[in-house]
A and B are shown apart, each in its own frame.
Chain A
Amino acid sequence: MTTVSDTASTSAITPAPGERIGLRRPGRGERGGVLNVFSHAILVCWGLMVALPLLWAVMSAFKTDAEIVRDPIGLPDGLHWENFTTAWTTGHIGDLFLNTVIVMAGGVAGTMLLGAMAAYVLARYDFPGNRAIYYLFIAGLTLPIFLAIVPLYKVVANIGASFPWLGLNSYLMLVIVYIAFSLPFTVFFLHSFFRTLPTEIAEAAIMDGATHTKLFFKVMLPMAKPGLISIGIFNVIGQWNQWLLPTVLMQPQSGGEEKHAMLAQGLIELMVNQGYQGDYGALFAGTTMAMLPILIVYVSFQRQVQAGLTGATLK
């Protein structure tokens, strides 16, 4: 890591012409004036690089395919809502959304509950094997998902042979798989969080005759709320972005069975299979419909989302 930080600092010096300017101008009032203009110029550039492709996609969603080909950057000559209708009916965006929301609701809620239970017991109770179980969870942090994907497919297929409601293409199965793969980080994060909570309140509650279960749900969980919010946001974004697991596991097992695809999976299938070959307008419309709700939610809660995500990472 030493070399890493060294390269980081040396190279960070190079792109800062403001440094020389700043040194030459010690005057209190104007210090940073030029640097300020320079900062805004660069920041606006990057902001445009992020925002323009998104705006372009939204704009293209209202164009006919002929318009998109003729003039990719011109404004649409009218609002072609039919792209949205096509995307909704042939792309099944509505179904994709519903499937994703169902699985995420179960996945995030289950991850939080099971993760908090495991982390709490491991953090506050001493028993033989405690460390071993903790490290077993931590080990999962270092393993990329696709290493396990082949046998996981087989495990799920085998379970599905006996219990179809837990097999491939089942919501409940995907919820449980999401929970399993979200547990390592959730346990790791909440473990350190439960450790920092004061012991006096827990002792007082036990003196008052609370059971361990009651103590957890009535006292410890409410106290851990900030940590739960952080890791909750982290899991929402992680499971929302998940693509490999549903792509492998949500495959219909017979011809007549409807595929319960997730949003990310469905959108990429549309693109890769070129179901919309030549129909860019509808693809952009589908993308817009998938993009806007999450952006609206994010902008409304941006402070919590940013703080939650970065907080979870730095723990």
Chain B
Amino acid sequence: MRHGRGRFVAGFLAAPLAVYLIFMIWPYVQTLMYSFTSWGGFSNEAPFAGLDNYRQLLSDDTFQAALLHNVFFLVALPLVTILLALFFAFLLNVGGRGNRAGVRGVFGSSVYKVIFFFPQVLSVAIIVILWDALYRTDGQGLINFLLIKLHLVDPNHPLQFVNDPTPFLGVPKVLWWILIVVVWANVGFYLVLFSAAMQSISKDIYEAAMLDGATRVHTFFRITLPLLRDSVSVAWVYIGFVALDMFVWIFALTPQQGGPNHASEVFATVLWREAFTRGQFGYACAMGVAMAIFTLILGAIQLTATRRERIEL
């Protein structure tokens, strides 16, 4: 039984590990190495530049504005998505008619779930094209057209959506419009996630609570929500990754891929422009490293926060 064991282990690990190291780990390691050079990207020469790129980052206004925009998404996106998803999951599971204990779906809840889940299976490209058309600024887009018909919007001044850099609550309006699209695209998934978690809770708990006279709504807030804690924190991490990225949404939906006039730049769009438009690969790599450090710090905060929660329990 022992013979051939070592060879088997090595044989099975060789291919996955090789692919992973060459095409994933090696590029990340190179990002770190190039961040100390002024590599232009197209030559094979990468003159050593020490910490110059990092010093430049500290005085780069566009980069710092982009960082703030990522922070905006990092706060707003999980908050809105999770609240909406929980709310819909509550309505789907608790709103049901009848007097049986426990979580029971409303009539047609599986139909609702199928439809709500649509954006998750559509390619991001399709969602972007749809919303680009919905957000048309000339009165012919679906949203402007309907609002003008309802006399909610002046036909001479239709909504400018992603062309609008003026601030709302201290954040350029274009970012709020993008937020709506990304929430629209993500809510369905987390709703199904929370719904599945709710249905896996044992019915006995509900029956006991009902015997003690608890109402359906009571049981939701006293039993269901606390037991969803784990799912909610998983969701928070996943949406956090979306908020740190945001690349495709900003790149494809906003004018000048981060405009108007840099009002909607995020980390990823600035990095992209430095690398592929301006040929500043070394500098772009330094941005990548800064981003990775930022992500790691967030991860550490997340870990300590969860650990504290466990002790409390």
Contact = CB atoms under 8 A, between A and B. Distances in A.
Given A150-B288, A176-B19, A267-B125, A53 B27 contact: no
Interface string A291-312: 1001100110010011101110
Given A12-B83, A29-B99, A118-B16, A151 B133 contact: no
Interface residues of B, number: 119
A101 interface: no
Interface stretch (A1-9, A76-84, A222-230): A1-9
Contacts of B271: 146
Q: Is the interface of A mostly helix, strand, loop or mixed?
A: helix
Q: Which of the listed residues B126, B187, B236, B244 has the most CB atoms from chain A within 10 Å of its own CB? A: B126
B16 A117 contact: yes
B48 interface: no
A290 B126 contact: yes
A309 B190 CA distance: 10
Given A1-B305, A267-B123, A12 B17 contact: no
Interface string A261-288: 0011101100110000000100110010
A28 B210 CA distance: 11
Contact of A150 (B5, B8, B285): B285
Contacts of A68: 140
Contacts of B124: 241, 243, 264
Interface string A195-233: 000000000001000011100100000000000000000
Contact of B215 (A31, A125, A146, A295): A31
Contact of A118 (B13, B83, B196, B306): B13
B121 A295 contact: yes
Contacts of B133: 57, 60, 280, 283-284
B50 to A, nearest CB: 19
A89 interface: no
A193 interface: no
Interface stretch (B54-62, B151-159, B164-172, B225-233): B225-233
B181 to A, nearest CB: 11
A56 B117 CA distance: 18
A154 interface: yes
8 contacts: A8-B83, A31-B216, A117-B16, A120-B12, A147-B288, A152-B27, A265-B125, A287-B129
Q: Would you list the 8 A-B pairs with minimal beta carbon distance, nearest first?
A: A39-B95, A151-B30, A180-B23, A148-B27, A264-B125, A118-B16, A39-B91, A212-B8
Interface of B: 1, 4-6, 8-9, 11-13, 15-17, 19-20, 22-28, 30-31, 34, 41, 78-79, 82-83, 86-88, 90-92, 94-99, 106-107, 112-126, 128-134, 140-142, 145-146, 184, 187-189, 192-193, 196-197, 215-218, 221, 225, 229-234, 236, 238, 241, 244-245, 247-248, 252, 268, 271-272, 275-276, 281, 284-285, 288-289, 291-292, 295-296, 299, 302, 305-306, 308-309, 312
Given A9-B225, A56-B142, 6 more contacts: A1-B309, A29-B99, A140-B25, A244-B247, A271-B129, A295-B121
